[in-house]
Amino acid sequence: MTLLQGRPEDPTGRPDKEIRVYDFLDSLHIDYQRVDHEAAMTMEACIAIDEALEATMCKNLLLCNRQCTDFYLLLMPGDKPFKTKELSQQIGSSRLSFAAPEYMEQFLDITPGSLSVLGLMNDKDMHVKLLIDEDVLGGTYIGVHPCINTASLRLRTEDLTRKIIPAMGHTPTLVQL
């Protein structure tokens, strides 16, 4: 895998949602690197990608309450176990579960395996609340998908928290898992 600077020179064959991510990052003057790869559907597949990116491996989970009225995008370290009870207590929501894939597509324009914080740029109606485990923010770089799972980006963690997330209009809630 080769670490490339910025957006692809030739966007032919790339989905519009991926190109929209590059347009968004470029509009904010964000410096980023990219790795193109086979579809990454599991955390195991992401390990080699994250080694190429030299970035914090991030697990992204779309969660909802039992009534499917409150939705949360949780960013947490890839090697950390997820315990629903711990998170539920911190955010005051009972009975969290994984949201159905249709909500991922409806709110974030993302399909399973491609979930990323960058999908929040498509959440214009603010259906999804952003939760970030504090340990995700410890590294200099973070790895994210550009709304597809055949490419991964390396962003400066500081750019994510100070420029990208605010530009998407979301305010993260920090949690400790």
Over range 110-133, report the average pLDDT: 95
Whether pLDDT at 175 is above 80: yes
Q: How far apart (Å, rounded) are the C-alpha atoms in residues 52 and 65?
A: 36
Task: Tell me what pLDDT residue 42 has.
Answer: 67
pLDDT band at 168 (very low <50, low <70, confident <90, very high): very high
Give the pLDDT confidence of 32-45 residue by residue, as tens digits.
999 999 887 666 66
CATH of the domain at 114: 3.90.960.10
Instruction: Compare 2 and 120 and report the one with higher pLDDT.
Output: 120
- Rg of the chain over all Cα atoms, to the nearest angstrom: 15
pLDDT-above-70 percentage for the chain: 97
Task: Tell me what pLDDT residue 10 has.
Answer: 93
Give the pLDDT confidence of 102-115 residue by residue, as tens digits.
999 999 999 988 99
Phi, psi of 154 (to 5 degrees): -110, 120
pLDDT band at 61 (very low <50, low <70, confident <90, very high): very high
Task: Tell me what pLDDT residue 43 has.
Answer: 63
Q: Residue 142: give the domain boundaries.
A: 4-175
Query: What is the DSSP-derived secondary structure letter of residue 128?
Result: E
Q: What tokens were used for 43?
A: 């955390």
Tally of domains in the chain? 1
Task: Tell me what pLDDT residue 70 has.
Answer: 95
Give the pLDDT confidence of 70-84 residue by residue, as tens digits.
999 999 988 888 888
Cα of 3 vs its chain's centroid, Å: 19
| Edge-first strand listing for the sheet containing 4-5 | 4-5, 33-36, 151-156, 141-144
